[in-house]
Structure 1
Amino acid sequence: MSQEAESEPVYEEPIDIPLEEEDDDDEDDEADEVGESHTPSTTQQKLRAEAEAHGDADEDEDMDTMHANASRSGTSTPLGNANTAAGDDDEMDDDELDDDDGDENNKKRDSQGKFKKYPKLDPAKAPPGKKVPLHLLEKRRLGRIKAAEEFARKLKKIGIEKVETNTLPPTGLFQPMILINQKNYSSDYLKKDEQVFALRDRKVLRNNTQVPSMANTPDVADLKRENGNTTELNEAAGDEDIDLSDANTTLVIHPGSNSLKVGFAKDESPFVIPSCVAIPKSELHNQIPMDQKNQTCYTRDQPTEFEEIKAEMQHSFRERMRFYKRKVQPNAHEQVINFNKVSKPELIEDKNDYNRINWITTPDRRYYGADALRCSKDHFVIRYPIVKGGSFNIASPDYRSLQDLMGDFTGLLEHVLRSPRFQLKRSQFAQYKVVLVIPDLFEKSHVETLIRCLITEMQFQAVAIMQESLATCYGAGISTSTCVVNIGATQTRIACVDEGTVLQDSCITLDYGSDDITKLFALFLLQSEFPYQDWDIETAHGWHLAEELKKNYTTFQDANVTVQLYNFIKRIPGQQAEKFDFKVFDEVILAPLSLFYPGIVAQLRNELKPRSQNEKLESELPISRDIFTDNLDDWRSLSQTECLDNQLYCGNQDEFQMLCKLLDAPSRLDELQAENRLEPDIRQNYAPLEKAIVQSITNACLSFDVSKMSSFYSNILVCGGGSNVPAFDFILTDRINIWRPRILSHTSFPDLYKKLSKQIKDIKNSVKNGEGKSNGPQEDEQLKEKVQEVIKKELERYHELIESQNNADHTLPVSVLPPPRDLDPAILIWKGASVLAQIKLVEELYLTGADWDIHGSRILQYKCIFTY
């Protein structure tokens, strides 16, 4: 080595290493002189002994750092040359040996003497090609061994122990189960997106749309290349939000309670078809349900309970007219009855009847949709495969098996897609994707059956699902907290939506809808001596007339409620049309008022003959259950349960008890989710509409964020065909303001709730931490008394604050929003689903045939916006 390199010191401060006199035996000296190192076992023993004797980790680290720096710089140190070691003379260059004969040998002997006492400082101890000394590697190895022993001890303590022997002998074709790998005990398996097949496939679909994807995977780029739309392809590549061209290959399907809405995502409006099928009786081989044979018409005579509720509705109507200072004729009913009794028909010739209906009486084939409604029930059986907003009609006695039911649904959908608007053949279904709308409180078994039908049987390319309330917000363009009220044909559904999520505990399903309004309106007309006294609305022509009268004359507009003269045309298959004049008074408002007095609907259904249950069909499509506990697996809603138990906030005059109930909502929610439900609740929900809305909004705020209450009341969005009654939004606003509890009507209620919740939580924590256990009945009673005292004091202060304001600014405003841009509320849900179908996000929601074949229904928990 050069003298210049030797003269440069590496460390500014010299390090004094205490050197003791060498008293080792001759064998060690001889081994050091010839450059031999200790065996690994000898090294480990010396390291352990030295660590026990000294235990100076800081000094060791400093020495290692000095040695590493010296090795990198290639210079001499007080400990010797960093690039040379004992036993390496053969590898050194001849020039260096010639230059540094005397000095180098002296330094080498000195360093060997030092390394005998401190072998861990010897650079020769480092493994070949590594800069980490052996003593550090040994220290790490011992640490790993100790950690593994401790980890194994903990695993054995909690019951997880590695078993080497296999106690399962192979039997037949079944192989023994492979034991769990020990390294996966504390792994992050299925906790990252890249470890889930569905999410990996979704990432590939989102980031690499130009590459052909798996079979049945929607690939927009390939479809565009086939059509030659290269310009649109380049434009879509730069647009990250909306791919407009994808709407050409996406079908949006909304199976409602009364009609099936189908259309392309690019369409302005869907193709609406009644969801019914007319089957010739000859195909059923005389297997006709009993309720199809014995049809009874509505009679004017009703039970006493029905008449009492009707009188209550009339009183409410008169009070409303008096409040708005509108005059009510005292003898209006007598005028209506006297005129209708003497009304005579006027014959209409066929050539003058421009709206003449061509009734179908020839049972030559099956008819779907509007054609099925024109079929005579004397020769056909009308079946409805879809009821209750998207669920299969498994309670109907018209079906003999699940295949029979699914055949009606697929036949109805194929009939729509074969129509001139779509012109799609079954072989072309594999080129199209489907966005399916499902109810808020959906039944998992029905949803999975419907998806399997679309993917497996009808061979669509992919299917994505979304809930009705979320689709309504998409269609209306509302991004704030919204309460959605969907009035369908057979059900009314209420749900609160916030930040793109349907709040589960706010969902309510009411078992009445616009069909009940139609039946009541027909009954009220018959009680007013309607000229058509033998009117049977169970027939095809009778129901058609009832729907037409309801659509034209029912209203909530107070100014139009007076004695009015109208006319209708009586059309019966095989007879000449007749025109009648008739008068109405409050029947036009009493029928839709049943939404707020649903007890009259319950009385009307009790009067009719109930339909029998189809036990065979229910056994073929059972309700979804948890595979481990056998409990029901469908969504549970706190609001729905309270409505069925008649535990409503509206009508409770005791504000103290109501406030205690509001503060106890989180515990009631936990009890509901932990409840073991083995059988479904078959009770009918007849809660009034305005009270159900207050219940839904209140529970949504208590379970999510109480400060959202003002936003929910300000954005009540009404949709569905049953909301097409004029001035419905005005009367709904009035009814909510009338029945909403006083304590829930003020803007300061959220602050009161937060304050009380914090105080009660502090009291419970102080009892548990300060006084020890509070499991005894005395301690629980004392805690309950303390909480009640706090609630009473805060409630008194709250009343003083409210009374001191003396203005109306403290009341939460109620605002019912109409559909935007004069859009039909019946198609608002479908419109929202078509908006989602054009957003790039929908690519992450599609599940393909490959997904369904591999995972089945488990794939839905990764392919849904909501928690499936």
Structure 2
Amino acid sequence: MVGRKILDDKHGGKKHLYALNVQYARSEFLKRDDQVLAIRLQQEERLNARKKAAVDIDRARAQAGQDGEPYAEPDPDLDEDVPMDDIAGDNFGSKTIVIHVGSQNLRLGLATDALPKTVPMVIAKKAQRSEADDSEPRPKRIKLDDHAPSEEWFGDEFAKEYIAMAQDFKVSRRANKRRVLPNSRELVTKWNSTTPPETIPEHSDPLRIDWTELPANEKAAPDYIVGAAALRIPERSRPRYHLYWPVRHGWLNEKDYAGRNMLERDFFLILEDSIKHELGLTHRREWSQYSCVFVIPDLYEKVMVGMVLQEFLRDFGFQRVCFIQESLAATFGAGFGIACIVDIGAQKTSISCVEDGMIMEESRINMKYGGYDVTETFVKMMLFDRFHYADFNLMRRHDFLLAEELKGGFTTMSDENISVQMYDFHLRAHGQNTRKYTFKIYDEGVLAPMGYFRPAIFDHSDKLSGRHHLIPRSTDLYNGHPNDPLSKAQMAVISYVNQAIPSAVTAPSAQPVRPLATPVAPTPTKNRPLGIPSHLNGDNDPTPRSSPAASPPPDDGGTPHPTGDDLNGDEIGELKGAQPDTEIIDRTVPVMPLEQAILTSIHHASGMDERKRRDLLGSIMLIGGASKTPYLGQYLEMKLRAALPQYPKEILVAPPPRELDPAVLVWKGGSVFGKLRMTNDSWISPLEYDRLGSRILHYKCIWHW
């Protein structure tokens, strides 16, 4: 039935505007669950499982009758997610691969494995020059010549921040009744600048490095080498190799690649090679029998997730794939129902509050610093204090491994035994005699990891280099707005950086932007709850959520950028009904002192719920490889209690329970998730992806996509 809408015009006549099809208005298209492919397939799968269970029961009952034995009727509940075995006794975990990709390490294994295999997330490829030849030395030297003193190598900003940190540390030691010598720094610099290394012949070194051996025939050398073997390739090898890290700071590394295809190819080459050699699945035809659980960040990029899904189902040929967020996986691994997860990795730190198997969306924070920043800063501090090995360069492979060794041996957050002490280390480079350096350090081992609480000491200059240069962001199909998830807590971090850390904000782009919305000035908050600082209070901040619609990435040149200039207001993070300034977000490295970031996350998770706030403050779990710094948890707890003195007993920072390794806890949680029954609704099959593409994620993700 078709009706026509008729209106009276101003002259009293009748005017037909448009035809209205009443059948369309009354349509029930996609209004029932049985019309949605993903839900319909789940229902069919459950029905088939029940039919199979009923047939098996009938067969068992008949067999028992023939044997003259009593038969005990089972009562299987196929709708309940129970780990390990289904009614037929199949162990799903033995056919499930769990993958967790980090900026520095890849962890993968079968869901039934006790611990994952750890593989450096690096690939070496044949090239004319090595990465050390093509890049400037790290740490970056602003002034480096024969006449410039070491105090000027890294610029005035680093020198002022380092000296200020040292002075504050000295004051705190005196307040704690620690002995402080007035000339400690002079003793360190004098010894380090005047003590040359001792040369040890390579055959006399019992701990010499086993370098990766290459064939004598250069043409027979492999085109690429993955993982730990790549880090052990000599710098001057023949043929020469160049190291690439496809993931940097939790993002795909667009800075060091010339094309998107090469970047994606290297990323999946590392995964493919690791599956073949670490898990023993050397033939791809076996992979169709395996499922895959892929762990993604809490604040993920939709283009990245869609790319992984397509590659795993189309190229790798997995039977099915599902995704789980890092903080949620951490609670699975620890067995916690509610927790504030603080995950400090190599190059990023993520904080999220989790309750009852769901991440509180507005609490998610992703900051771009981690253990590598501590490594680099520790080297800078030693060089500042006239470290005799002045040629330290983290872009060289043996120096990078040495720096990681020094950080693991000498960094701590305890000031109990801090004094001028003498240590030694051995520098081992391929084709050179081993050099034994004797050096002294004072407080560098404490001040370097203290950068978590004073991130201005870290170098943020190139963390945004190449961002969205090769891979465009996901945008909403209908309004063109950026479509990746963004939380109120993350916006508070970005606003903090624009006010407090100018070095983490890059210059504005010369490319004109098209305004999409006009922000309204933030209004002051009358009541600030529970002693939360003003820059952490943003209850009325309506940060836009992700659109449920599918968002295929458009051409990068056509990505619109909304504008706005209110991020520097008195109350940070309160945007009244406006789209965030995407240009400012893209120009800002999200960093914040660790204790403030945790309070920001908990504040946005709990709101005005005092009980929930206390529960979260009492269940802060510190995980990640960089969290292994000695006494970091105790120091963080002390900083939190100083920030919130009204909670003297509630605040608790603890490592994972049952002595679980904090570096692999997220992977462990993914393995627990992978051992749930096949009725887990988050699995994506090739059939579903062929029909719906990446839109299937809207129906399958266990969080708001």
Q: TM-score range by the shorter chain?
A: 0.7 to 0.9
Counting only pairs closer than 5 Å after superposition, residues 433-452 of structure 1 correspond to structure 2 as 433-452=291-310
2:386 to 508, 513, 529: 529
Cα distance in structure 1, aligned partners of 2:679 and 2:179: 55
Do the aligned partners of 2:97 and 2:108 also contact (CA within 8 Å) in 1?
yes
Cα distance in structure 2, aligned partners of 1:662 and 1:552: 36
Change (3 A) 1:340 1:442: same
Counting only pairs closer than 5 Å after superposition, residues 648-797 of structure 1 correspond to structure 2 as 658=528, 665-666=539-540, 668-669=542-543, 674-676=577-579, 679=582, 681-682=585-586, 683-702=588-607, 705-740=609-644, 746=646
Change (3 A) 1:537 1:511: same
* Higher mean C-alpha displacement, 364-373 vs 834-843: 834-843
Matched letter for residue 639 of structure 1: A
* 3-state SS in 2 of match to 1:847: coil
Cα distance in structure 2, aligned partners of 1:646 and 1:611: 17
* Paired position in structure 2 for 1:749: none
* Paired position in structure 1 for 2:567: none
1:277-300 Cα distance to aligned partner (Å, 9 max, x none): 111115xxx8x9998255466553
Matched letter for residue 396 of structure 1: K
Cα distance in structure 2, aligned partners of 1:236 and 1:269: 34
Change (3 A) 1:668 1:454: closer
1:586-645 Cα distance to aligned partner (Å, 9 max, x none): 0110100011111111xx344xx7885387x52xx3211111111111112111112211
2:243 to 355, 362, 382: 382
1:720-774 Cα distance to aligned partner (Å, 9 max, x none): 111110001111011122234xxxx54xxxxxxxxxxxxxxxxxxxxxxxxxxxx
* 3-state SS in 2 of match to 1:579: strand
1:827-861 Cα distance to aligned partner (Å, 9 max, x none): 11101111111123763111011111100111111
Cα distance in structure 2, aligned partners of 1:420 and 1:276: 15
1:85-108 Cα distance to aligned partner (Å, 9 max, x none): xxxxxxxxxxxxxxxxxxxxxxxx
* 3-state SS in 2 of match to 1:252: strand
Aligned residues: 594
2:485 to 622, 635, 648: 635
Cα distance in structure 2, aligned partners of 1:567 and 1:277: 31
Cα distance in structure 1, aligned partners of 2:373 and 2:116: 25
Cα distance in structure 1, aligned partners of 2:480 and 2:590: 25
1:474 to 324, 332, 337: 332
Cα distance in structure 1, aligned partners of 2:536 and 2:212: 58
* Paired position in structure 2 for 1:243: 84
Do the aligned partners of 1:562 and 1:586 also contact (CA within 8 Å) in 2?
yes
Counting only pairs closer than 5 Å after superposition, residues 76-475 of structure 1 correspond to structure 2 as 182-183=22-23, 185-186=25-26, 188-209=28-49, 240=80, 241-244=82-85, 245-282=91-128, 292=134, 294-295=136-137, 298-299=140-141, 300=150, 301=152, 302-360=154-212, 364-365=221-222, 366-378=224-236, 379-389=240-250, 391-393=251-253, 395-397=254-256, 399-419=257-277, 421-475=279-333
User: Structure 1 vs Structure 2: percent identity of aligned residues?
Assistant: 31
Do the aligned partners of 2:138 and 2:394 also contact (CA within 8 Å) in 1?
no
Cα distance, 1:812 vs structure 2: 6.2
* Higher mean C-alpha displacement, 591-600 vs 378-387: 378-387
* Higher mean C-alpha displacement, 538-547 vs 296-305: 296-305
Cα distance in structure 2, aligned partners of 1:555 and 1:387: 25
Cα distance, 1:557 vs structure 2: 1.8
Cα distance, 1:201 vs structure 2: 1.2
Change (3 A) 1:289 1:501: same
Change (3 A) 1:463 1:501: same
Change (3 A) 1:612 1:320: closer
1:117-169 Cα distance to aligned partner (Å, 9 max, x none): xxxxxxxxxxxxxxxxxxxxxxxxxxxxxxx99xx79x989xxxxxxxxx9xx
* 3-state SS in 1 of match to 2:45: helix
Matched letter for residue 736 of structure 1: L
1:447-488 Cα distance to aligned partner (Å, 9 max, x none): 1011111111111111100111101111111112x1111111
Cα distance, 1:376 vs structure 2: 3.9
* 3-state SS in 2 of match to 1:422: coil
* 3-state SS in 1 of match to 2:474: coil
Matched letter for residue 245 of structure 2: Y
Do the aligned partners of 1:489 and 1:514 also contact (CA within 8 Å) in 2?
yes
1:593 to 433, 450, 474: 450
* Paired position in structure 2 for 1:124: none
Unpaired runs of at least 5, structure 2 = 8-17, 57-72, 86-90, 142-149, 501-523, 545-573
* 3-state SS in 1 of match to 2:369: coil
Unpaired runs of at least 5, structure 1 = 1-147, 158-166, 168-178, 214-220, 222-233, 747-809
Higher relative contact order (CA 8 A, sep 6+): 2
Q: Answer yes or no: is 1:570 the counterpart of 2:427.
A: yes
Change (3 A) 1:560 1:296: closer
Counting only pairs closer than 5 Å after superposition, residues 42-53 of structure 1 correspond to structure 2 as none
Cα distance in structure 1, aligned partners of 2:83 and 2:29: 34
* Paired position in structure 1 for 2:701: 864
Cα distance in structure 1, aligned partners of 2:109 and 2:541: 45
Matched letter for residue 252 of structure 2: F
Cα distance in structure 2, aligned partners of 1:833 and 1:583: 43
Cα distance in structure 1, aligned partners of 2:598 and 2:538: 20
Cα distance, 1:529 vs structure 2: 2.7
Cα distance, 1:546 vs structure 2: 0.5
Do the aligned partners of 1:430 and 1:461 also contact (CA within 8 Å) in 2?
yes
1:560 to 384, 394, 417: 417
1:197-239 Cα distance to aligned partner (Å, 9 max, x none): 10121123334337799xxxxxxx9xxxxxxxxxxxx999678
Cα distance, 1:272 vs structure 2: 0.7
Cα distance, 1:494 vs structure 2: 1.1
Cα distance, 1:666 vs structure 2: 2.6
Change (3 A) 1:455 1:211: farther
* 3-state SS in 1 of match to 2:107: strand
Change (3 A) 1:627 1:726: same
Instruction: Give the TM-score, by structure 2 length.
Output: 0.77
Q: Which has the larger radius of gyration?
A: 1
Change (3 A) 1:560 1:211: farther
Cα distance in structure 2, aligned partners of 1:243 and 1:573: 48
Cα distance in structure 2, aligned partners of 1:732 and 1:419: 40
Matched letter for residue 272 of structure 1: T
* Paired position in structure 1 for 2:675: 838
Matched letter for residue 814 of structure 1: I
Do the aligned partners of 2:117 and 2:278 also contact (CA within 8 Å) in 1?
no
* Higher mean C-alpha displacement, 488-497 vs 638-647: 638-647
* 3-state SS in 1 of match to 2:540: helix
Do the aligned partners of 2:488 and 2:604 also contact (CA within 8 Å) in 1?
yes
- Greater helix percent: which structure? 1
* 3-state SS in 2 of match to 1:644: helix
* 3-state SS in 2 of match to 1:537: coil
Cα distance, 1:332 vs structure 2: 2.2
Do the aligned partners of 2:497 and 2:591 also contact (CA within 8 Å) in 1?
no
Cα distance, 1:320 vs structure 2: 3.1
Do the aligned partners of 2:103 and 2:347 also contact (CA within 8 Å) in 1?
yes
